[in-house]
Amino acid sequence: MGYDTASKTDPESVVPEEFGGMWFLKDELEADHIGFSILELEPGGKGKEHDETHTDQEEIYYVASGSAEVELTDRDETVTLEEDDLLRLDSEESRQIFNRGDERVKLVLVGAPL
């Protein structure tokens, strides 16, 4: 087949609903190389601190709604992203996403091996 479709809620969320939700869609889309996820965080919510050295993939974060802060933990630096902003991260960059705003934030996360 030349294309695949999926819905955000086809897979189970890996984040409890009370904190928002995170849906990994790579398998649902039968993608060979590109990881595609949706992350929603309630106010006060945060993602897991991590890097991607084990996968050797770079990631791009797109804020679809709301605003988010991405702490670059090895640098002791924070990048603030507003709606329609993007951030690209090298695989070895340690990061953690936070919603310190008053509204739910929705991000699209895309990753691919270098």
Which domains are present in the chain?
A: 36-109 (2.60.120.10)
State the DSSP code for 68: E
Q: How many CB atoms lie within 10 A of CB 18?
A: 8
Cα angle for residues 34, 37, 41 (degrees, 5° grid)? 155
pLDDT tens digit sequence for 58-109: 999 999 999 999 999 999 999 999 999 999 999 999 999 999 999 999 999 9
Q: What is the mean pLDDT of residues 25-33?
A: 95
Tell me the C-alpha to C-alpha distance, in Å, between residue 2 and each of 5, 8, 27, 30, 33: 11, 20, 16, 11, 16
Q: What is the mean pLDDT of residues 22-43?
A: 96
pTM over 0.85: yes
Whether the per-residue pLDDT at 114 is higher than 90: the answer is: no
State the DSSP code for 19: G
Going across the sheet that includes 95-98, the strands are 77-81, 68-72, 95-98
pLDDT confidence band for 1 (50 / 70 / 90): low
Of 87, 113, 88, 91, nearest to 31 by C-alpha is 113
